[in-house]
Amino acid sequence: MPKTLEFQIATPERVVFEAPAVEEIILPTQMGEITILPDHIPLVSSLVAGEIRVKVGGQEVSMAVSGGFIEVRPGKVVVLADTAERAEEIDEHRAEEAREKARQLMQEKKTETTDYTGLAAKLERELARLKVVRKHRERKNLGPKAVE
Amino acid sequence: MPQATREIKRRIRSIKSTHQITRAMELVSAAKMRRAVQNVLATRTYAQLGWQLLSELSARTDQSRHPLLARREQIKRLGLVIISSNRGLCGGFNHQLTHRTNQYIQKNREQNPQLEVDLVTVGKRGRDIMLRTGHNIVAEFTKADITTRIEVVAPIAKLLISDYLSGKSDRVVMAYTDFISPLTQKPIIKQLLPIVKEVDLNLGSARVAGVKQEEQAANFNYEYLFEPTPDAVLENLLPRLLEVQLYQALLESDASEHSARMMSMRNATDAAHDMISSLTLAFNQARQASITTELADITGGRAALGA
């Protein structure tokens, strides 16, 4: 039997996903995407907004996350995310709207730096969500959602 | 007759209205408790995983890596955060907590008579009690009835960290009430800074399904790799996880407060109920007694006349 990892992703609101045996985890970090395989050395790193992909039992589960932390221990990976959503849970239309809103606000307020950084983070988060949901839809062959 | 029964009647009426009030308060607390408990359960896993990470980090990385990990030889000033409630009528909730805190302070003073304690209070009741016992309060934070956003603890965490870094306190602990069940709550003192492993006094923990205690991991002698650099990661991670611990403590206190209040209000309602029924009995007895004496008078008078 191939080696596996225990995986758990928690946010302050809930435990988004956990599995006792996953084969591979792809995480977005500050240094770029990293892939964690079993027997990875213990690691602590910061998570950035993006997509987490987990291979469990041959299937891939994808999630959108904003910032947070990653901890790799022997035999276990823990993700402490600020927010996280499973691909199935994201409503594409709403994600698109939120992105648009964040971008507009950003153009208006480019001069106010404090707001700008907050909005930039928000935009990044919305982009990550959108990316995850689009990919998820493609994989399921549902095609793009009708735009009103 | 009217004298005795009127007195009892008045008391029954007043107890009945108290009964109504306490029952209403019980229902309100029950609703608040449900919400608070929901919140506390949702974040417990996150908080506990965060705490595990913190304590593993402190055990496995060089203390000199970050000032928040470094232990100090001498503890001259102790920073203490005490999380209490805003309102009373919740049984022994606040007194248990302040009692436990005073015990802790006393124990530490025995070891170190020069120890100064600076209090940071969250919640009005704890502040009032600690003021009365003559402690030094350096900061006071207000608190909502039910905390729902993690942002509210940011200023508290900021204050604690900056005081610790500037040497205003050499150790920071927090006192809060751990929510075990609606019937049991336990006041707990937990060390926040410096971050050390031994003092894990389980923040709502050990009871969370899905988070196993890592016994076997302790046997491995591993060190963490940091990406991109230890400084960059720790700089973000330590304050954030401390915030999470404070937030969780606040939620635990909220849940405890509302369940304590619900229980004490239920006890009050039950006691009022008992009092009403025993007073009603006394009332009926008094009424019957006066009727009997009146009857005895009448028949006695009649017998005297007829004779």
CATH number of the domain where residue B22 is located: 1.10.287.80
Cβ separation B49–A8 shorter than 8 A: yes
Task: Please check whether residues B200 and B244 belong to one and the same domain.
Answer: yes
Place of tokens 């009365």: B132
Q: Is B222 on the interface with A (CB under 8 A)?
A: yes
Cα–Cα distance between B50 and B172 in angstroms, integer?
18
The pLDDT value given to residue A113 = 61
The string of pLDDT tens digits covering residues A46-63 is 898 888 999 988 888 888
Query: Does residue B299 fall inside a structural domain?
Result: no
More confident residue, B8 or A123: B8
Model confidence at B307, in pLDDT bands (50, 70, 90)?
Answer: low
Q: Which distant-in-sequence residues (6+ apart) come within 8 Å of A113 by Cβ? A: none
- Nearest residue to B77 via CA among B127, B112, B129: B112
Query: Does residue B189 fall inside a structural domain?
Result: yes
Task: Please check whether residues B180 and B86 belong to one and the same domain.
Answer: yes
pLDDT higher than 90, residue B275: yes
Cβ separation B223–A42 shorter than 8 A: yes
The pLDDT value given to residue B201 = 47
Place of tokens 């890596």: B65
Q: Tell if the pTM clears 0.90, that is, is over it.
A: no
Chain B segment 183-212 residues within 8 A of A by beta carbon are: 210
Pick A44's closest partner by Cβ from B42, B217, B233.
Answer: B233
Query: Does residue B303 fall inside a structural domain?
Result: no
- As a whole-number percent, the residues of chain B with pLDDT over 70 amount to 91
pLDDT beneath 70: ranges in chain A: 1, 109-115, 139-148
Cβ separation A12–B43 shorter than 8 A: yes
Pick A11's closest partner by Cβ from B46, B217, B240.
Answer: B46
Phi and psi angles of residue B116, each rounded to the nearest 5 degrees, phi first: -105, 140
The pLDDT value given to residue B283 = 94
Q: Which residue of A has its CA nearest to B211?
A: A8
B210 contact residues in A (CB cutoff 8 A): 8, 15, 18
More confident residue, B243 or A88: B243
Q: Looking only at Cα atoms, what is the longest distance across chain A? A: 57
User: Other C-beta atoms within 10 Å of B80: how many?
Assistant: 25
- Nearest residue to B143 via CA among B36, B222, B278, B20: B36
The pLDDT value given to residue B214 = 46
Pick B224's closest partner by Cβ from A12, A31, A44.
Answer: A44
Mean pLDDT of B40-47: 90
Instruction: State whether residue A62 is helix, strand or coil.
Output: strand
Long-range contacts of B280-288 (CB under 8 A, 24+ apart): B280/B12, B282/B8, B283/B5, B283/B8, B283/B9, B283/B12, B286/B1, B286/B4, B286/B5, B286/B8, B287/B1, B287/B5
Strand B171-179 versus strand B77-83 pairing type: parallel
Strand B171-179 versus strand B185-193 pairing type: antiparallel
Q: Is A32 on the interface with B (CB under 8 A)?
A: no
Query: Does residue B217 fall inside a structural domain?
Result: yes
Task: Please check whether residues B112 and B164 belong to one and the same domain.
Answer: yes
The string of pLDDT tens digits covering residues B168-227 is 888 999 999 999 998 899 999 988 888 876 544 444 444 444 444 444 444 456 778 887
B228 contact residues in A (CB cutoff 8 A): 30-31, 45
Number of domains in chain B: 2
The pLDDT value given to residue A111 = 59
More confident residue, B215 or B79: B79
Residue-averaged pLDDT of chain B: 86
Mean pLDDT of B264-270: 94
Mean pLDDT of B226-246: 86
The pLDDT value given to residue B250 = 93
The pLDDT value given to residue A142 = 55
The pLDDT value given to residue B25 = 93
Task: Please check whether residues B114 and B80 belong to one and the same domain.
Answer: yes
pLDDT higher than 90, residue B81: yes
User: Other C-beta atoms within 10 Å of B46: how many?
Assistant: 25
Task: Please check whether residues B138 and B161 belong to one and the same domain.
Answer: yes
Q: What's the sign of the alpha-carbon dihedral B123, B129, B132, B133? A: negative
Shortest alpha-carbon distance between residue A112 and chain B (Å): 21
Task: Please check whether residues B88 and B18 belong to one and the same domain.
Answer: no
Mean pLDDT of B283-296: 93
> Which tokens sit at A54?
């987990």
Cβ separation B226–A43 shorter than 8 A: yes
Task: Please check whether residues B189 and B282 belong to one and the same domain.
Answer: no
CATH number of the domain encompassing residue B250: 3.40.1380.10
Query: Does residue B45 fall inside a structural domain?
Result: yes
B227 contact residues in A (CB cutoff 8 A): 29-31, 34, 43-45
Mean pLDDT of B62-72: 79
Task: Please check whether residues B125 and B271 belong to one and the same domain.
Answer: no
B150 contact residues in A (CB cutoff 8 A): 12
Q: Active site residue: B57, B80, B90, B272, which one? A: B90
Query: Does residue B155 fall inside a structural domain?
Result: yes
Place of tokens 């909730």: B93
Structural domain including B281 reads 2-26+264-294
- Nearest residue to B263 via CA among B41, B92, B96, B146: B92
- Nearest residue to A71 via CA among B82, B302, B240, B152: B240
The yes-or-no answer on residue B197 being catalytic is no
Mean pLDDT of B119-124: 92
Mean pLDDT of B45-66: 83
Query: What ipTM was assigned to the predicted interfaces of this complex?
Result: 0.71
- Phi/psi zone of residue A22: left (φ > 0), alpha (ψ -120 to 50 degrees), beta? beta
Which site among B56, B215, B224, B245 would you substitute to test the A interface, given the most A Cβ atoms closer than 10 Å to its Cβ? Answer: B224
Task: Please check whether residues B269 and B239 belong to one and the same domain.
Answer: no
Residue-averaged pLDDT of chain A: 82
Task: Please check whether residues B19 and B46 belong to one and the same domain.
Answer: no
Cβ separation A30–B46 shorter than 8 A: no
- Nearest residue to B149 via CA among B29, B48, B253, B250: B250
Query: Does residue B302 fall inside a structural domain?
Result: no
pLDDT higher than 70, residue B113: yes
The pLDDT value given to residue B168 = 87
The pLDDT value given to residue B208 = 43
Task: Please check whether residues B141 and B230 belong to one and the same domain.
Answer: yes
Task: Please check whether residues B107 and B137 belong to one and the same domain.
Answer: yes
The pLDDT value given to residue B75 = 82
The pLDDT value given to residue A110 = 63
